[in-house]
Amino acid sequence: MCGRFSVYIDDVELKNRFPSHDVAPFLGVKITNFAPTMEMPVIIENQVVNMKWGLIPSWSQNKSFANKLINARCETLLEKPSFKNLVNTQRCIVPSNGFYEWDPVSKLPYFIKPADSSLMNFCGLHTLWMDENRRPVNTFTIITTKSNQIMSEIHNRMPVILEQGSEHKWLDRANSFAEVRNLVKPISDSSISISRIEKVI
């Protein structure tokens, strides 16, 4: 699961990793405790779009889905009505510098970040929903997978984190989901570091 993460991103690294995107919407966005229903810039195939966290399917009659669909389990993406029509053409990347998870026993939070403190890119899906006043609302969900070995000591799920260099393959709509499915997996233990913290600020 991924229920909180940090969007405190190095602007220079973001520009280097996504040279064909206008990343201006990210400049000045520094949120260390990003929560469901909050809005942030999200990267799609050829642009950056502000979206709210918590996917609302286009066919939904109201926004109640948002809090239920902050995550999408990779194992059931092709089965769930909310996701199966998005996997081929509505993929996105949610940039971060790390996410939080709470130990089920001590209840203390841990911060999980890249081992080299670089950018952490989550695999996501996005869609456009029209509210009751016919105003467009862009929303996204983060895809999760089973935890790698070191993460499993805290929780049995973790977000799908893209390995550096695979971002554009994931975003390219010319690639079917079958062609990018191999990217949807737990990241290696050596790619992340886990630190216990006193509280999430």
Examine residue 53 and state whether it is found in any structural domain, yes or no: yes
How many separate domains does the chain show? 1
User: What single string gives the DSSP state of each residue in 72-98?
Assistant: EEGGGTTT-TTTTTTTTT-EEEEEESE
Residue 91 maps to which CATH number?
A: 3.90.1680.10
Q: Is the pLDDT of residue 24 over 80?
A: yes
Q: Is the pLDDT of residue 66 over 80?
A: no
Is 123 a residue of the active site? no
Mean pLDDT (the chain, rounded): 94
Is 101 a residue of the active site? yes
Distance CA 200, CA 144 (A): 21
Which tokens is 140 given? 């996204």
> What pLDDT is stored for residue 19 in this prediction?
94
> What pLDDT is stored for residue 42 in this prediction?
98
Q: Is the pLDDT of residue 65 over 80?
A: no
Q: How many Cα atoms within 13 Å fall on the side-chain side of residue 51?
A: 27
Per-residue b or e along 178-201, where b marks 16 or more CB atoms closer than 10 Å to that residue's CB: eebeebbebbeeebbebeeeeeee
Band (pLDDT 50/70/90 cuts) for residue 201 is confident
Examine residue 169 and state whether it is found in any structural domain, yes or no: yes
Q: Which one is catalytic: 2, 74, 92, 123?
A: 2
> What pLDDT is stored for residue 181 in this prediction?
97
Local structure of residue 177 (DSSP, 8 states): H
Domain span including residue 111: 5-196
Q: Which one is catalytic: 92, 101, 123, 167?
A: 101
